[in-house]
Amino acid sequence: MSSILDLEERANRLKKEDEDSFRLFNNIFHVSSAAGNLKIPPSFKEKVHTYFGNKDESGKIIESKNEVIERIQTQEVIKTYNKWTGEGSLFNSLRASRPGMKPQERSQEQEKVQEYIEKSRENCDFCQAEKYTPEDVFGRIHGKYCITGANIAKYDAWSSMVFFKKHNPLDFTQEELSDYIETGFEWFKKVNNHDKQFTSPLFIWNCLPKAGASQVHGHAQVLITKNVHYAKTQFLRKNFRSYMQLTGRNLFKDIYNVHNALGLALNKDVTGFASLTPLKEKEFIIISKNNPSTSADVKEAIYRVLRCYIDQLGVNSFNLAISCPSFGETFLPYIIRIVDRGSIFKPTSDIGAMELYGSSVISDDPYNIIKAVNAFNHG
C-alpha cells in the first residue's frame, strides 16, 4: 500500500524510471526523514496501549502492548518543503498510520452533525437573507439556488456573501454547487463594472464554525481588491514569475506533473492532486486555465472531491478557496484548494503556533486521500 512514509523511496525510483520527473521533483521539493525516539515509563504503558492500539470493528485492541510501545518509541517523521511556494509539512508515521474512521463511527458522527445543523435553524438570519442581511449598493444577484448580500462586517471594501437557499451547508448537488460558484463570479463582474479599479477576485467557502464560518447556514464569501492581489495569491504570482524567468517553465504545471509522477494526481482530465505540502489535513488542489464558473469539468471535479470528503471520509467542516487571475489576465491559472478542518465536536483547534509560524503538522496520508477520491470518482 502506498504511503507518504515511502516518499523518498518513490522519488529514488523516479531517478531510474523517469529522469525528467525526478529532476523536476528535486528542483521544486526538498524531502527528508528522521526518526524521533522516546522512552515510555512502565507506569504509562497501559495507557499508551489503550490510546494508540489499533482496534477492530468492535473496538477491541488488536495489537499487543509490546507492538504498540515499539511503534510509539520510534517514530519516523517525513518533512516536505516546496522551495518555490514556501509551503512545508511534517508527516509523523504515528499519525499517518492511524486507521481511518470506521463506517459505524462515520455514520454516528454524521447523525450528530445533522442534529447540530437542524438545531441551528431557529432564528437563522441567513434563512431569510433578503430580510436580515444588507445588500450591495448595486443590489443583489439572484442565482437559482442562492442570493448575494453585502458582508455586514467587511473583510475589504468589496466583501460580500453568497447565501445558499438550503440551510444545511453539507447538503448540495452538483447543480447547486455550480450555481453558488457561478453566482459568486457574477458578483465579481458586477463589482468590476461598478468600479474598474477592482480587478482581483477571491472566492472562499468556510463550511461550519470550525472552519471559520460566522453562522451554520450555508454561505460563501466573495471579495475583490485593487492594485495587488490578496497576500497569498500575490506571493504565488511573484514565485510563478520568478520560476518562469529562471527556468522558462510553468511552476504550477510542473508541481502537478511531479504529483502525477508520484501517484498523487486525480484520474481525470482536470489537473487535481493531493498535496505533498498540505496546509492542513486532506488538502486537495485543482489547477485550471479555465474559469471554474464556466468550466463544467472543473465544477464537477470540485463537487466530486467535496462529496467524497463528506460522504466517504466523514469530513464535516472544510475550507474551499478559488484564487483567480486579475480580470483580463492570462498569466496565472485558477487555483482551487480544499482542506479538512476536523470534527466540529472536537474542542481543540487544528491550527497552532506550528501552522502559523513553523510547518504544518499533518495526520492524513496524501496517498490515502488520492486513493479515496479516485475510487469515489469511479464509483
CA angle 341, 309, 85 (to 5 degrees): 60
pLDDT at 109 over 90: no
- pLDDT at res. 98: 57
Query: Is a pLDDT exceeding 60 seen at residue 99?
Result: no
User: What pLDDT does 278 receive?
Assistant: 98
What's the rounded mean pLDDT across residues 101-123?
A: 86
Confidence of residue 61 (pLDDT cuts 50, 70, 90): confident
Of 269 and 221, which is predicted with more confidence? 221
Q: What is the mean pLDDT of residues 243-260?
A: 97
- Read off the pLDDT of residues 8-54 as tens digits, 9 standing for 90 and up: 999 999 999 999 999 999 999 999 999 999 999 999 999 999 888 88
pLDDT band at 169 (very low <50, low <70, confident <90, very high): very high
Q: Is the pLDDT of residue 97 over 80?
A: no
Q: How far is the C-alpha of 54 from the C-alpha of 49, rounded, in Å?
A: 9
Q: Among 122, 82, 104, which residue's Cα sits nearest to residue 216?
A: 122
pLDDT in tens, 188-245: 999 999 999 999 999 999 999 999 999 999 999 999 999 999 999 999 999 999 999 9
- Indicate whether 324 pLDDT > 70: yes
How much is the average pLDDT of 328-341? 93
10 Å Cβ neighbour count for 298? 26
With a pLDDT cut of 90, the percent of the chain lying above it is 85
- What would the mean pLDDT of 244-259 be, rounded to a whole number? 97
160, 177, 161: which is closest to 169 by C-alpha? 177
Q: How much is the mean pLDDT over the chain?
A: 93
- DSSP type of residue 248: S
* Contact indicator for 370, 2 with CB cutoff of 8 Å: no
Q: How many CB atoms lie within 10 A of CB 98?
A: 14
Reported as a single tens digit per residue, the pLDDT across 71-89 is 899 999 999 999 999 999 9
pLDDT greater than 80 at residue 102: no
Contact 334, 292 (CB under 8 A): yes
CA atoms within 13 A on the CB side of 188: 27
> Is the model's pLDDT at 149 over the cut of 90?
yes
- Taking residues 102-127, report their average pLDDT: 89
Which residues make up the CATH 3.30.428.10 domain(s) of the chain? 105-377
What value does the mean pLDDT take over residues 55-64? 82
pLDDT of residue 103: 65
Instruction: Compute the distance between CA of residue 363 and CA of residue 350 in angstroms, rounded to an integer.
Output: 11
Report if pTM > 0.85.
Answer: yes
Q: What is the DSSP string of 101-167?
A: --HHHHHHHHHHHHHHHHHTTTT-GGGGHHHHS--BTTB--B-SSEEEEE-SS-SSSSEEEEEESSS
Report the pLDDT value the prediction gives residue 100, as an integer from 0 to 100.
Answer: 56
The percent of residues above 70 in pLDDT, for the chain, comes to: 97
CATH class of 105-377: alpha beta
